[in-house]
Amino acid sequence: MRRTRFSDWPCTIARTVDLVGDWWTPLVMREAFYGANRFEQFQSRLGLSRNILTQRLERLVEEGLFERVAYSERPPRFEYQLTEKGRDFFSVLAAMLRWGDRWLAGEEGPPIELRDRRTGHLVVPEVVDRETGEPIDVRNVVATAGPGLPKHLASTLADGSIHQSPRRPV
């Protein structure tokens, strides 16, 4: 079964969802953030099939979140090193962690806490408006046409229908 692909939608949320929606991919990234960089490490920590893990790592290399770097020539062995794009993806996981800790943790509190490696202080992620530094309240926000919005979709922005799947020539 092939799922719907969102990667060419005129919406970078949809494009990101396309990546996140490959089951396991966000958890592979989480393991990378927690220090894994070899196939066997990802595999033993997550317990997923080698087949799926191979697919996920290949896509993450293709998309530029990992760089595949040889650490041994004979036998040939590779590590998956986070690129800047890959490291920056932690912001997406951090937002999930924040929301999940607030709404999905049990009464006993969050299972994991982030701490600053240098000072030990508790790091609590928050998604803010860069200009004001305030948490973003969706009720105060509207979506408007950006420079990358295809022209034929711009006129439909007012009624929200830009969010339809783009009609493309096949």
Q: Of 109-148, which residues contact a second copy (CB under 8 A)?
A: 109-118, 121-131, 133, 135-148
The type of residue at 101 is D
Residue 106 contacts a second copy per CB under 8 A: yes
Residues 58-77 that bind a second copy (CB under 8 A): 64
For 38-65, give the DSSP string: SHHHHHHHH---HHHHHHHHHHHHHTTS
- Distance from the first to the final alpha carbon of the chain: 21
Residue 39 contacts a second copy per CB under 8 A: no
Cis status, amide bond into 75, omega within 30 of 0? yes
Least Å distance between CB 166 and a second copy?
10
Residue 53 contacts a second copy per CB under 8 A: no
When the beta carbons of 69 and 112 are compared against a second copy, the nearer one is 112
When the beta carbons of 74 and 121 are compared against a second copy, the nearer one is 121
Return the axis-axis angle of helices 25-33 and 12-20, rounded to nearest 10°.
80
- Residues linked to residue 82 through DSSP beta bridges, in sequence order: 66
When the beta carbons of 33 and 39 are compared against a second copy, the nearer one is 33
Q: Report the C-alpha dihedral over residues 43, 79, 15, 49, rounded to 10 degrees.
A: -20
Binds a second copy by CB under 8 A, chosen from 14, 53, 57, 60 = 14
**Using CA atoms, how far apart are residues 161 and 158, in angstroms rounded to an integer?**
8
Structure tokens at 31: 């393991």
When the beta carbons of 75 and 141 are compared against a second copy, the nearer one is 141
Q: Which stretch binds a second copy (CB under 8 A): 53-61, 68-76, 89-97?
A: 89-97
Least Å distance between CB 79 and a second copy?
15
Query: 65 with 79: CB under 8 angstroms?
Result: no
Binds a second copy by CB under 8 A, chosen from 44, 68, 69, 152 = 44
